[in-house]
Structure 1
Amino acid sequence: MAEVKFQNDGAEPAAFNLFDHDKKIGEMIVETIDGNLKVYHTEVDEDQAGKGYGKKLLDAMADYARSNQLKVIPLCTYVALQFKRHPDEYADIWNKDVKPEF
């Protein structure tokens, strides 16, 4: 079963990394700045597509943002689309003051 681990070696950016046993199969690159969690990129290995792993990373990031009272700036296309599709689910953490450009 895949497991998400938040990894930050003290230098930004940090990442939510997705592991299947000991093999890294996905990541979400983030950075914390002034009470905001900027999400830059989400990627899951091609051979792992369709297994819901992107959502697993998204859920871990959202839980982290909530538990640390952070607002999310979704610069990543995947996260921005999920926030737009499910605005009520992410209303408490979505920083709508910052408009990402795609």
Structure 2
Amino acid sequence: MSLAMTGGRLAVFHTEVFPEFEGKGFAKLLLNELVRYAIEKNVKIVPLCPYVNAQFRRHPSEYESVWSKD
């Protein structure tokens, strides 16, 4: 993942897994750990990455507590 922390917000720019691991749930595992970290550190996630953004939009209630919509 490509990330940047600014003022209590964690911008996610890119999520990538090696081609041989695509479609096997690894990106979702990365996202789950990111969300766990955000909750633990009390920061919000800015989902600029297309994958993260799509997951947030598909499952808004799952990510509501960490989603920075500003």
TM-score scaled by structure 2?
Answer: 0.97
The match for 2:18 is 45
Runs of 4+ with >6 A deviation: none
Unmatched tracts of structure 2, length 5 or more: none
**Higher percent of residues as helix:** 2
Task: Count residues with an aligned counterpart.
Answer: 70
Identity %, equivalent residues: 46
What is the deviation of 1:70? 0.3
How do residues 81-100 of structure 1 correspond to structure 2 at under 5 angstroms? Answer: 81-97=54-70
Distance in 2 (CA, whole Å) between partners of 1:48 and 1:78 is 15
TM-score scaled by structure 1?
Answer: 0.67
CA RMSD of aligned residues (A): 0.6
**Higher percent of residues as strand:** 1
Unmatched tracts of structure 1, length 5 or more: 1-27, 98-102
Tell me which structure has the larger Cα radius of gyration. Answer: 1
The match for 1:57 is 30
